[in-house]
A and B are shown apart, each in its own frame.
Chain A
Amino acid sequence: MGFFIEAFLGGLMAGMLYSLVALGFVLIYKASGVFNFAQGAMVLFAALAMARFSEWIPAWLGLENKFLGNLIAFVLAGAVMFVLAWLIERLVLRHLVNQEGVTLLMATLGITYFLDGLGQTIFGSDIYQIDVGMPKDPLFLFENTFDGGVLVNLEDVYAACIAALLVAVLSLFFQKTSTGRALRAVADDHQAAQSIGIPLNRIWVIVWFVAGLTALVAGVIWGSKLGVQFSLTTVALRALPVIILGGLTSVPGAIIGGLIIGVGEKLSEVYLGPYVGGGIEIWFAYMVALVFLLFRPQGLFGEKIIDRV
């Protein structure tokens, strides 16, 4: 039983990170109808920027304080993500207004490749560490109830708290600010939003920037756990079933979907894996999503798709 809870909790923690990446997808899809395949590349790019800045900046400025160095690096990496968002709007999206979703999807595939190459050219392609000072000690809970207790990584708990905080801030931003209202208006109907004077281009920059920020947070958490390297892009591929499950347009869907997928992956790997040779977690999530699609094509919380001629 203790082992089950341990696996379950581990799944929840992993799922939280999937949710963070999935959140970036959902934000962009909600506000512009673009299925942003480049989210994974953005996570890698942001994490690389953060890792290298936190290495370079103390060296340049002669800073001793690690917290300050990390803070400046984080802000700089955020600035880089803003420039990136602006460039993407300027160079790509602006020219693809009113194109079909599939075309936009393929354009983001192009962006993915470009960012992968660019990030590694600028920041190098080795494995880097991000050290934001998250505690790494394991924690044992319920030692009296179960034999050996339940092992919980304190790092994971912090990561989950940060993720939860980010989600809370984002939903406040969407619900309470005027920019958030404009974003929701654009999501509902591009043309109607434009006709009442909402600047579409600026909204897109904002939305891509917010997605870039969530990518940065996800990248920092992931990078400090496992190191920053090229394989981080596969995180995006693991977040895809999450949004399918949760629905493309739903923020709570991304979170609950992430948790379900995280737990499902872990439990399937632990309890099913040994019988079929292991390593099944990556396709298991996809199969769950696939089966799910057959019964509810719009996902758990997605809007019903209505086709009109």
Chain B
Amino acid sequence: MFYRENGQFKTSYRADQQIFAIAQDRWAILALIAFAFIGVPFLVDEYMYRAILIPFLILALAAIGVNILVGYCGQISLGSGAFMAVGAYAAYNTYIRIDGMPLIVALLSGGFFATLVGMFFGIPSLRVKGLYLAVATLAAQFFCDWAFLRVGWFTNNTSSGSVSVSNLQVLGWTINTPVEKYLFCLGFLVVFALLAKNLVRSAIGREWMAIRDMDVAAAVIGIRPMYAKLSAFAVSSFIIGVAGGLWGFVHLGSWEPAAFSIDRSFQLLFMVIIGGMGSIMGSFFGAAFIVVLPIFLNQVLPVIGHMLGMEISTAFVSHAEFMIFGALIVWFLIVEPHGLAKLWSIGKQKLRLWPFPH
């Protein structure tokens, strides 16, 4: 009744091609962004920032990157954690080795080096696809794990193997408190989400999707597979690299290679599957889901156990987490292969027709 496009006439192509075609959507999103920037800092306590909001923002950014590669271009990748690591360590090295390096430029340079590494490991995608490629990207994961652990140059020869950054500043604005960190990440996320959304709607995004749907047919109609695949690898690993830099610099502060292990790669892939493959919106849903679920289980399972008169150990909670993740992935693949984002769009579709479903 209140959510439909009746009466909203488009008189230019520009208006016709907006991201959110329905005015209510546009206002809702703008309101949401405004709320995230202005409202949230008044409402939330420090724990929420550290445990939920900041990880959510950064992982959502990384999930967008993974979604571009896996969801839009169909190149399954198990090496996303490695690209995050490359972003983090490259940003660290440019930050400490070059005097007066601005923070944002350092983070972007992390993305740049992640792009190079991502494209290098994307080269096998020109020859192999699907299952073989998944293994090829694992090579990136193991190589990076090893390199950042063993090669002293990357960590500036710290004896402990972990690196740390402090005193983050952007144009005189010191990023210190959780609120400031949150706003900094939020800014990055909004900009990159908008860029990514526009990229996947453009010609290059359509090329990726053509390659995903059937690469031979795409090649026949004149799409260059090499260009499309490598550009997907490049864009995706740039975004993942920046997310990795944020994860190290802003969220962790000091980190070691284990922060970007293969578990991180799987986690990112699950975000994309559960959130929705081939959907920018889905990346947000997936990240929110995967960040919140473990915290939720940690709170709820002991309570349920208590009600049933059992003592739930932390070990059991972590095992249950594994099982629930596994079952959810299978369940989503069977019941709703397009993930939470699809449920969201079905909901919107129904709302458009409501209350007359014809």
A114 to B132, CA, bound (A): 24
A290 interface contact, C-beta 8 A: yes
**The residue from A103, A110, A276 contacting B327, defined by CB atoms under 8 A apart:** A110
Specify the chain A residue showing the minimal Cβ separation from B321: A117
Q: Which chain B residues (100-157) contact chain A, with CB distance < 8 Å?
A: 123-124, 127-128, 130-132, 134-136, 138-139, 142-143, 145-146, 149-151
On chain A, the residues within 8 Å of B220 by CB distance are 309
A131 to B90, CA, bound (A): 48
A248 to B143, CA, bound (A): 23
Q: Which chain B residues (295-342) contact chain A, with CB distance < 8 Å?
A: 315-316, 319-330, 333-334, 337
Q: Are A103 and B337 in contact (CB-based, < 8 A)? A: yes
B29 interface contact, C-beta 8 A: no
A304, chain B: closest CB distance, angstroms: 13
**The residue from B76, B217, B262, B333 contacting A107, defined by CB atoms under 8 A apart:** B333
B19 interface contact, C-beta 8 A: no
Q: Are A121 and B146 in contact (CB-based, < 8 A)? A: no
List, sorted by A's number, 10 A–B pairs whose CB atoms are closer than 8 Å. Answer: A92-B334, A105-B131, A106-B273, A120-B322, A237-B142, A244-B135, A282-B146, A283-B146, A287-B143, A293-B128
Main secondary structure of the interface of A (DSSP, over half): helix
Indicate the member of A112, A237, A290 with the most B CB atoms within 10 Å. A290
Q: Are A241 and B135 in contact (CB-based, < 8 A)? A: yes
On chain B, the residues within 8 Å of A307 by CB distance are 215-216
On chain A, the residues within 8 Å of B150 by CB distance are 276-279
A234 to B266, CA, bound (A): 14
B269 interface contact, C-beta 8 A: yes
On chain A, the residues within 8 Å of B145 by CB distance are 283
Specify the chain B residue showing the minimal Cβ separation from A88: B330
B326, chain A: closest CB distance, angstroms: 3
**The residue from A99, A125, A240, A280 contacting B315, defined by CB atoms under 8 A apart:** A125
Specify the chain A residue showing the minimal Cβ separation from B332: A110
Q: Mark A212-236, 1 if CB is under 8 A from B, else 0.
A: 0000000000000000000000000
A256 to B76, CA, bound (A): 27
Q: Are B322 and A92 in contact (CB-based, < 8 A)? A: no
A115 to B323, CA, bound (A): 7
Residues of B within 8 A of A (CB-CB), count: 48
Q: Which chain A residues (118-168) contact chain B, with CB distance < 8 Å?
A: 118, 120-121, 125
B329, chain A: closest CB distance, angstroms: 3
A268, chain B: closest CB distance, angstroms: 12
Q: Are B151 and A277 in contact (CB-based, < 8 A)? A: yes
A252 to B215, CA, bound (A): 31
Range class of the A interface residue count: 35 or more
B170, chain A: closest CB distance, angstroms: 36
**The residue from A101, A114, A293 contacting B127, defined by CB atoms under 8 A apart:** A293
A107 to B327, CA, bound (A): 9
On chain B, the residues within 8 Å of A92 by CB distance are 330, 334
A1 interface contact, C-beta 8 A: no
Say yes or no: A118-B323 contact (C-beta < 8 A), given A103-B333, A293-B127: yes
A111 interface contact, C-beta 8 A: yes
Q: Are A309 and B214 in contact (CB-based, < 8 A)? A: yes
A307, chain B: closest CB distance, angstroms: 4
Binding site for B on A (CB under 8 A): 35, 91-92, 95-96, 99, 101-103, 105-107, 109-118, 120-121, 125, 237, 240-241, 243-244, 248, 276-280, 282-283, 286-287, 289-290, 293-294, 297, 307-309
A283 to B139, CA, bound (A): 6
**The residue from A95, A107, A117, A241 contacting B322, defined by CB atoms under 8 A apart:** A117
Q: Are B319 and A102 in contact (CB-based, < 8 A)? A: no
Q: Which chain B residues (212-230) contact chain A, with CB distance < 8 Å?
A: 214-217, 220
Q: Are A297 and B131 in contact (CB-based, < 8 A)? A: no
Indicate the member of B74, B134, B324 with the most A CB atoms within 10 Å. B134
On chain A, the residues within 8 Å of B127 by CB distance are 293-294, 297
Specify the chain B residue showing the minimal Cβ separation from A278: B150
B244, chain A: closest CB distance, angstroms: 19
A278 to B136, CA, bound (A): 22
The 10 closest A-B pairs by CB, nearest first: A114-B326, A117-B322, A110-B329, A113-B326, A117-B323, A286-B139, A277-B150, A110-B330, A283-B142, A35-B131
On chain A, the residues within 8 Å of B330 by CB distance are 91-92, 107, 110-111, 114
Say yes or no: A121-B142 contact (C-beta < 8 A), given A105-B76, A293-B128: no
A293 to B220, CA, bound (A): 24
A241 to B136, CA, bound (A): 9
Q: Are B139 and A248 in contact (CB-based, < 8 A)? A: no
Q: Are A309 and B131 in contact (CB-based, < 8 A)? A: no
**The residue from B139, B269, B322, B328 contacting A287, defined by CB atoms under 8 A apart:** B139
Q: Which chain B residues (61-81) contact chain A, with CB distance < 8 Å?
A: 74, 76
Beyond the given A289-B136, A294-B127, please list 14 additional residue pairs across the A-B interface where CB-CB is below 8 A.
A102-B74, A102-B131, A106-B76, A106-B329, A109-B266, A110-B330, A114-B323, A121-B320, A125-B315, A240-B138, A276-B150, A277-B150, A290-B139, A293-B132
On chain B, the residues within 8 Å of A96 by CB distance are 333-334
Specify the chain A residue showing the minimal Cβ separation from B328: A110
On chain A, the residues within 8 Å of B149 by CB distance are 279
On chain A, the residues within 8 Å of B142 by CB distance are 237, 282-283, 286
**The residue from B76, B124, B138, B151 contacting A237, defined by CB atoms under 8 A apart:** B138
On chain A, the residues within 8 Å of B135 by CB distance are 240-241, 243-244, 286, 289
A269, chain B: closest CB distance, angstroms: 12
Specify the chain A residue showing the minimal Cβ separation from B323: A117
Specify the chain A residue showing the minimal Cβ separation from B150: A277
A240 to B214, CA, bound (A): 26
A125 to B316, CA, bound (A): 10
Q: Are B128 and A113 in contact (CB-based, < 8 A)? A: no
On chain B, the residues within 8 Å of A294 by CB distance are 123-124, 127
Say yes or no: A121-B319 contact (C-beta < 8 A), given A293-B127, A293-B128: yes
Q: Are A117 and B130 in contact (CB-based, < 8 A)? A: no
Q: Are B131 and A101 in contact (CB-based, < 8 A)? A: yes
**The residue from B128, B136, B326, B333 contacting A117, defined by CB atoms under 8 A apart:** B326
B8, chain A: closest CB distance, angstroms: 38
